[in-house]
Chain A
């Protein structure tokens, strides 16, 4: 009896201990699961150093978690005006009367992840580092400015920042730039790296980034993942998530399958329209449509092609394309027709739907070609495309079909991305696909790069050619220059609005490019992820501090 009682006691003890261990392990597994947010992307992170950021993906892929700007958009305002931006690392700011500088008063309670204080000297350090070649020369890197220098073009090269006192800094501009606050609030122009860390790591800083953001860097295995951990000394709201893992997928299908299989929590800004109907029906996933008009795809037409230089031919092409059908078929109904490179849904009154002047009318298109003296099949064009997104091929095949129907012999020229971009830069195309993503939510952004002398289309719109009046913008160069100066620099709202609208009218009049369809972007995530709110300013600026997961 005694023996039986002892054995029973031992059995109960062992069972209790085993049960306790199981519970501990289960709790640890739940903690690990709910404490870790995994974000998937098919874009490989190129850099963790703002100096080396080559595009908005670097900013989005962890940049917004490690680094912080001086100002931020507000969550409730999707596309903020400059006055809608809220203080962030800066408590307040003022613009000089001449518009050539902005003075920022900084927060006093911000520290970098390495414990060093954030102050005006750090701002000046960052600005000098990205605007001059001093840092690059020190390490024999040979680059004059930070890699995405065009975003910093407005800053004074020689004196981008002046320290007024420990927490007051003045940023100096080369020219008046009305969207400056929008630029700061949306891009990595003010993504501040710790001077101490930069000094310590030198060129290896890229693999040891130190910012002020809510998450700090843990590790980066290129091709696999970037791991960030909650910054428990963060000056603002502490993140609820303990660990954030940004996983890279080479293939969008693999990423989508990983999401459906529960291996990742969120896919960031990417989904194939072919997968969307299935993902929308998945009871375990939430599909959140982003503010997709930021992505403005267009067909660019090269004026240097002797046939396409004829305005009637360009108008015929514009009127041959049925945007409604393109959205229904190529984009499976997940896109909306675009009638301006300044999308109306994004910019409201700033947008002029100039391409509604060229409604879909294949018969009119044929008539225009005949008036221009062309017989069917006489014009032969190559349309250069690259797989910028999964629906490009479907869209291109439809465009080819539209042109074939009006008598333009269109051949699709599918190239790899690098080759296509080189061809585009050098003007080696008849027509080429081009997708513009706004760097900051200001209508001036695309217009500057589409229409300025230094813009990316200059090689095909007559600027670099000794062409007579009537070709491209050549005869309107001065006028466009003045309008762009107003669009960039005027602080008078109505004056800027008028300039932006007029620029769109000129763009539409010349039909340099034909906007196609506004492609939405999607945030797709597991139902147990909460708090994914897009803050205003740029589509994927998410406030990671409020995101959390439930078991």
Chain B
């Protein structure tokens, strides 16, 4: 069996205990932390008789281990919309899988756009910085990185909303499209759906709405990618074969982009993969500030409402996504660099 195949199977098999462990951890944690979902959902002036009825309907009257077993039975039999209290949202009574899949495309699109921006800008500034070490442009980019690392995301986002939205009225501050613009939901990704609708106004509306959230999400990743790219480029540009290439009379652009950049890309690729996974899991703040209906907001709302099944589902979903991203990065590494073996 090839090493890659063996690696893939091993990682897949390891995912099962990981998911099981996470499910158990979240299940127990949710039932230990203070806060009662019935009071949260129905208000505390619900009469005792009703309160007890809902306890029974949610399964809270059973011992925790019984609730856990019921829940596991549903999951293991893929009854992801089962009648146990573990697989349907307390709020909507819909299967948790449906809730997640409804919100996931928004998060995915936002993260994809952010990582594309982060890669393009991060790599570009990293290369510029590396080829102008110690010069003014390098210092300016370094200062920008410092700001990026230091400023909290929510603050940056709100300042951009205030300045670019409220004061200068250049960009919208919330949502993913104008209220008056209607287009069919096909994939659940607003920009893609707008393209599919062929409506120029819809495309323009969604694109404008995405500018601020994408920039605020991408900024931290830009800085991270820029720093790694710069470091790797500087290291690579001092290698012997680069000196040889220059000695042979190759143009500087060719030296930098054809020879140095490709070799510097490998470690940067790993970082990009990790950043993407981080973006996918870290949309809570952005989606909250910009009122985007993604998975991050669903997770946050579920926590506030103590919607245990949805919290469990979201956590496991995030874990799976991060695991998949990490797996793809490792595979990509092996495919790009033939020296890499598992």
User: A interface vs B, CB < 8 Å?
Assistant: 32-33, 35-36, 38, 44, 46-47, 52, 54-55, 140-145, 147-150, 153, 203, 206, 221-225, 227, 243, 245, 247-251, 253-255, 257-258, 260-264, 415-419, 421-425, 449, 454-456
Q: A257-B161, A264-B179 are in contact. Are A46 and B91 (CB under 8 A)?
A: yes
Bitwise interface map of B from 65 to 100 toward A, beta carbon under 8 Å scored 1, else 0 = 000000000000000000100000001110000010
Complex: chain A residue closest to B54, CB-CB: A143
Which size class do B's interface residues fall under? 35 or more
Bound Cα distance A418, B53 (Å): 19
Bound Cα distance A35, B169 (Å): 23
Q: Tell me if B103 and A223 are in contact (CB < 8 A).
A: yes
Q: Which A residues are CB-close (under 8 A) to B211?
A: none
User: B interface vs A, CB < 8 Å?
Assistant: 34-37, 39-48, 50, 53-54, 56-57, 83, 91-93, 99, 102-103, 158, 161-162, 165-166, 169, 172-176, 178-182, 185, 287-294, 297-298, 300-301, 304-306
Q: Can you give 21 A-B contacts (C-beta < 8 A)?
A: A38-B180, A44-B301, A54-B41, A54-B42, A142-B56, A144-B53, A149-B46, A150-B45, A222-B102, A223-B301, A227-B182, A245-B180, A249-B174, A250-B297, A254-B161, A254-B289, A258-B172, A263-B179, A417-B40, A419-B35, A422-B35
Q: Which B residues are CB-close (under 8 A) to A145?
A: 50
Q: Which B residues are CB-close (under 8 A) to A55?
A: 43
Which of B83, B103, B179, B287 lies at the interface centre, i.e. has the most chain A CB atoms within 10 A of its CB? B179
Q: Tell me if A149 and B50 are in contact (CB < 8 A).
A: yes
**Shortest beta-carbon distance from A331 to chain B in Å:** 23
Q: Which A residues are CB-close (under 8 A) to B179?
A: 36, 38, 225, 245, 247, 263-264
What 4 A-B pairs have minimum CB-CB distances, sorted nearest first?
Answer: A142-B57, A223-B293, A418-B35, A224-B293
Complex: chain B residue closest to A144, CB-CB: B53
Q: Tell me if A54 and B43 are in contact (CB < 8 A).
A: yes
**Shortest beta-carbon distance from B154 to chain A in Å:** 9
Q: Tell me if A425 and B39 are in contact (CB < 8 A).
A: yes
Q: A54-B43, A416-B304 are in contact. Are A263 and B175 (CB under 8 A)?
A: yes
Q: Which B residues are CB-close (under 8 A) to A260?
A: 166
Partner of B180, one of A32, A52, A254, A454: A32
Q: A225-B179, A425-B36 are in contact. Are A417 and B304 (CB under 8 A)?
A: yes
Q: Tell me if B93 and A261 are in contact (CB < 8 A).
A: no
Q: Which B residues are CB-close (under 8 A) to A454?
A: 47-48
Q: Which B residues are CB-close (under 8 A) to A33?
A: 180
Q: Tell me if B44 and A424 are in contact (CB < 8 A).
A: yes
Q: Which B residues are CB-close (under 8 A) to A223?
A: 103, 293-294, 297-298, 301
Q: Which B residues are CB-close (under 8 A) to A143?
A: 53-54, 57
Bound Cα distance A36, B180 (Å): 6
**Shortest beta-carbon distance from A421 to chain B in Å:** 5
**Shortest beta-carbon distance from A535 to chain B in Å:** 24
Q: Which A residues are CB-close (under 8 A) to B56?
A: 142
8 extra interchain contacts, Cβ-Cβ under 8 A, other than A261-B166, A418-B304, A456-B45?
A: A54-B42, A142-B56, A223-B293, A223-B301, A250-B287, A251-B289, A254-B289, A258-B174
**Shortest beta-carbon distance from A24 to chain B in Å:** 13
Q: A141-B57, A149-B50, A223-B103 are in contact. Are A254 and B291 (CB under 8 A)?
A: yes
Q: Tell me if B291 and A251 are in contact (CB < 8 A).
A: yes
Complex: chain A residue closest to B297, CB-CB: A223
Which of A264, A422, A456 lies at the interface centre, i.e. has the most chain B CB atoms within 10 A of its CB? A422
Q: A141-B57, A144-B50, A257-B161 are in contact. Are A221 and B174 (CB under 8 A)?
A: no
Partner of A419, one of B34, B45, B46, B289: B34
Q: Which A residues are CB-close (under 8 A) to B173?
A: 254, 257-258, 261, 263
Q: Which A residues are CB-close (under 8 A) to B290?
A: 254
Partner of B40, one of A206, A221, A418: A418
Bound Cα distance A263, B180 (Å): 10
Q: Tell me if A421 and B46 are in contact (CB < 8 A).
A: no
Q: Which A residues are CB-close (under 8 A) to B293?
A: 221-224, 248
Bound Cα distance A141, B53 (Å): 11
Q: Tell me if B39 and A422 are in contact (CB < 8 A).
A: yes
Q: Which A residues are CB-close (under 8 A) to B39?
A: 418, 421-422, 425
Bound Cα distance A250, B161 (Å): 15
Q: Which A residues are CB-close (under 8 A) to B48?
A: 454
**Shortest beta-carbon distance from A54 to chain B in Å:** 6
Bound Cα distance A454, B52 (Å): 14
Q: Which B residues are CB-close (under 8 A) to A419?
A: 34-35
